[in-house]
Amino acid sequence: GDSVTQMEGPVTLSEEAFLTINCTYTATGYPSLFWYVQYPGEGLQLLLKATKADDKGSNKGFEATYRKETTSFHLEKGSVQVSDSAVYFCALGRNKLIFGAGTRLAVHP
């Protein structure tokens, strides 16, 4: 069946560092791919999405490219801020969302 695998956290970075959170998926066909972010004590916010191969989703300095050949959707940001500290979920969408386990990011000044 469909599944999503994320790198384990926590990821701890200094402010202005480069961020990569790896996400790979297993699925038949061409599902949509998403990154959601969850700040402490809050619900999930859609960060970005891509609906077909080679699409690049971007928002708030974050980017991810839908790579069919490597079945990946890695999240990147060139310069993280303390306010980016949160849990990031990669998800695959069909008739329901299939989430990865989540990666906690902590950014220190």
Partner 1 sequence: DTEVTQTPKHLVMGMTNKKSLKCEQHMGHRAMYWYKQKAKKPPELMFVYSYEKLSINESVPSRFSPECPNSSLLNLHLHALQPEDSALYLCASSRLPQETQYFGPGTRLLVL
Residues at the interface with partner 1 (CB under 8 A): 32, 34, 36, 42-46, 49, 89, 93-97, 99-102
Shortest Å, Cβ 95 to partner 1? 5
Distance of alpha carbon 102 from alpha carbon 79, whole angstroms: 21
Nearer of residues 13 and 47 to partner 1, judged by Cβ:
47
Q: Which is nearer to partner 1, 77 or 100 (CB)?
A: 100
For residue 59, the number of C-alpha atoms closer than 13 Å in the C-beta half-sphere is 12
Contact yes or no for 21/6 (Cβ under 8 A): yes
Q: Least distance to partner 1 from the beta carbon of 102, Å?
A: 5
Q: Pick between residue 17 and residue 22 the one whose CB is nearest to partner 1.
A: 22
Number of H helices, E strands in the chain: 0, 12
Q: How far apart are CA 29 and CA 14, in angstroms?
A: 38
Q: How far is the CB of 13 from partner 1 (least distance, A)?
A: 20
